[in-house]
Amino acid sequence: MENTAQLSQTMDQIIISPEQLLAHWQGHRGLTRRLIEAYPDEHFFSYTLGGMRPCSALIDEVLQMADQSMQGVISGEWPSFGDDASAPPKATTKEQVLVQWDRVTEKIDAYWRQIPLARFQEVDKAFGLYEGPIYWFLFYLIDNEIHHRGQAYVYLRTLGVEPPAFWDRPQV
């Protein structure tokens, strides 16, 4: 009973709840999805600038990391990054990317409810590469998406396309 009281007191003092963190992440995912929709089909898999990868490769990395992370977040059992045999084949059209994006978004929502509250503070070594508390790794996933979305914003602007407003991230 003491642990429950301590947990309740701790929850009263936190800055952001797991539900709020998920809404924040899904707000970013919604914005990235709108960016993918706005990206010209003819340039999505080929356009590069300054040695950066094409937008499709940036988005594929974000998709893979989010897709492969949720089981590790829950269980502590992490695949080697990029080695998930159950992952769908790489998309060859923007429409396929959007279908994969939606599938991963649903997976995040479904798995999120299974994360025990204490798990956010536990330390893991994700993908054998990134060691830290689970909350830190979740921030990393969000930061990585923002970083790659920023690169895609530069691409869109150089292609003469107005990207979606970066502040337009309605909470879901």
Q: Of the candidates 65, 77, 56, which has an alpha carbon nearest to the alpha carbon of residue 104?
A: 65
The model's pTM: 0.86
Note the pLDDT tens digit of each residue in 56-101.
999 999 999 999 999 899 989 888 766 655 566 789 999 999 999 9
Cβ contacts of 22 within 8 Å, gap of 6 or more: 108, 109, 112
| Rounded distance between C-alpha atoms, residue 51 and residue 32, angstroms | 22
pLDDT at 109: 96
pLDDT at 156: 97
Residue 60: CA atoms inside 13 Å, Cβ hemisphere, count?
A: 18
Q: Of the candidates 101, 25, 95, which has an alpha carbon nearest to the alpha carbon of residue 59?
A: 101
Give the CATH number of domain 26-79+103-167: 1.20.120.450
